[in-house]
């Protein structure tokens, strides 16, 4: 995979002087564009969602619990590597590193005296760490590609199936684990992952590097076909519609359903209506109940349905609701999900 020419950096630091030095210090020659700066994580949330940084340069002010819990929840669905430029003491620094999975090589200590001059002297080291963190993040996704599962099957028997997947908190990793082992000719897959606009395109591009199938952010009119994965864009509702013997997606702005746009319920209700018994529904980790009623409709229409079990979920909310309401036929560990899917198709 070819790395982007430049790295987009978001600075989160409670010290205004640090933000000023970094913003002014990273020029064109560093290969880094500072796309935003904020004094705390709550103020940074909107910048994370709109600017879509490649790396975060972080320091937080004690007590650290609220900031770190907030970042941990946010980064579960928007995995962005972090470089820690910090004045924290040893105990707090280790707590931040452990909770946010920051490598020791990406931790830089702030100068204790003459802060401005000291930071300017370390800008080269900071820039090198930021660029390396961006590169490592890309390489981690590349290394997570799995060998496709090879099974004996008859393709034509499953080519008109529609696989609908829904996920929320923790879903980026769960979706990757489901898709990466699937063969290139797996029937068409449509996905809703709760994400705002902009992030879904980047997520689809990352997934496309990890699977034998083609993954893309869905556009209105895209065909649902074997070997293709369509991810609902943030800010739009996606529905599956049938045209004769084939399926396409309708992607259009719409009101939030269950607090979400895109909504898993919207997608799964459409699959129930248009694919009926040719549908397969999968509900992965996530908070709330979005997808529970849509999966129930799919099951009533004759579709095969299952959800992720509690032990492997980041949040056992959406799968639990689907199972308790009768939408999910069974609960499946994440590591067995791809095999369960293929067994449902060809077993």
Q: Which residues contact residue 10 at a Cβ distance below 8 angstroms, ignoring those fewer than 6 apart?
A: 34, 35, 36, 37, 38, 44, 47, 48, 51, 53, 55, 56, 57
Tokens describing residue 123: 């800008």
Q: 22 to each of 35, 105, 106, how far by Cα in Å?
A: 11, 19, 16
Q: 274 to each of 208, 232, 283, 298, how far by Cα in Å?
A: 27, 18, 19, 10
Q: Is 222 one of the annotated active-site residues of the chain?
A: no
Q: Which residues contact residue 69 at a Cβ distance below 8 angstroms, ignoring those fewer than 6 apart?
A: none
Q: Is 300 one of the annotated active-site residues of the chain?
A: no
Q: Which of 54, 59, 67, 290 is catalytic?
A: 290
Tokens describing residue 344: 């449902």
Q: Which of 134, 194, 269, 274 is catalytic?
A: 194
Q: Is 290 one of the annotated active-site residues of the chain?
A: yes
Of 21, 197, 231, 52, give the one whose Cα is nearest residue 121.
21
Residues 192, 36: Cα–Cα separation, whole Å: 28
Grouping H, G, I as helix, E, B as strand and the rest as coil, residue 151 is: coil
Residues 29, 131: Cα–Cα separation, whole Å: 12
Q: Which of 13, 54, 67, 168 is catalytic?
A: 168
Active site residues: 168, 194, 290
């Amino acid at each position: 995979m070819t790395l982007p020419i430049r790295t987009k950096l978001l600075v989160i630091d409670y010290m205004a002087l640090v933000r000023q030095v970094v913003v002014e210090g990273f020029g064109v020659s560093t290969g880094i564009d500072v796309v935003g700066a904020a004094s705390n994580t709550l103020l940074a949330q909107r910048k994370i969602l709109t600017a879509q940084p490649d790396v975060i340069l972080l320091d937080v002010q004690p007590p650290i619990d609220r900031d770190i819990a907030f970042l941990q929840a946010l980064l579960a669905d928007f995995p962005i590597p972090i470089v820690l430029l910090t004045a924290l003491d040893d105990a707090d620094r280790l707590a931040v590193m452990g909770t946010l999975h920051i490598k020791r090589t990406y931790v830089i200590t702030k100068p204790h005296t003459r802060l401005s001059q000291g930071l300017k002297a370390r800008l080269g080291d900071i820039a090198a760490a930021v660029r390396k963190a961006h590169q490592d993040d890309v390489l981690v996704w590349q290394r997570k590609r799995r060998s496709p599962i090879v099974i004996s099957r008859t393709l034509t028997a499953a080519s008109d199936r529609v696989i609908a997947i829904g996920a929320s908190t923790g879903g980026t990793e769960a979706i990757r684990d489901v898709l990466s082992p699937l063969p290139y000719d797996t029937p068409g897959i449509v996905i809703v992952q709760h994400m705002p606009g902009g992030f879904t395109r980047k997520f689809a591009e990352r997934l496309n590097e990890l699977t034998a199938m083609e993954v893309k952010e869905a556009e209105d009119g895209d065909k649902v076909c074997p070997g293709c994965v369509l991810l609902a864009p943030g800010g739009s509702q996606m529905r599956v519609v049938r045209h004769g013997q084939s399926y396409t997606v309708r992607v259009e702005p719409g009101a939030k359903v269950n607090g979400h746009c895109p909504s898993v319920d919207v997608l799964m209700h459409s699959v129930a209506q248009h694919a009926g018994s040719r549908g397969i529904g999968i509900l992965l980790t996530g908070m709330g109940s979005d997808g529970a009623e849509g999966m129930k409709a799919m099951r009533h229409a004759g579709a095969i349905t299952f959800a992720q079990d509690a032990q492997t979920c980041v949040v056992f909310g959406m799968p639990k609701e689907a199972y308790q309401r009768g939408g999910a036929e069974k609960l499946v560990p994440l590591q067995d999900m791809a095999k369960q899917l293929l067994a449902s198709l060809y077993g």
